[in-house]
Copies of this chain bind each other. A is one copy, B any other.
Amino acid sequence: MTEPGIGHNSGADVGGIAADRLRSFVQRIERLEEEKRGLQEDIKEIYAEAKGTGFDTKIIRMAIRRRKMDKADRQEQDATLELYELALIDEMLS
């Protein structure tokens, strides 16, 4: 990838591995992870703002998770949960 003899070994192997390739992979991953951290920071700030406005961020997280589901699946899940809780509550009444 680089010219030989220009003072660094970027094209050479280090211990039999293609050092250049490894560096490139690592740098690309680190760059993307840095961007991800930035987005995560932005998301955190929006939650903080929502909390400051009086919203319950735990519930917002639940609502967002549920919005990813198919509507029919969500309804079935809700119905099943209600059924199971009814069966389990019963235990305390009996």
Give A contacts to B, CB under 8 Å. 1-2, 7-10, 14-15, 17-19, 21-23, 25-26, 28-30, 32-33, 35-36, 39-40, 42-43, 46-47, 49-50, 53-56, 58-60, 62-64, 66-67, 77, 80-81, 83-88, 90-91, 93-94
Contacts and interface: CB of A to CB of B under 8 A. Distances in A.
Interface of A is mostly: helix
Contacts of A91: 10, 19, 23
A32 B25 contact: no
Contact of A1 (B19, B23, B43, B90): B90
A66 to B, nearest CB: 7
A88 B26 contact: yes
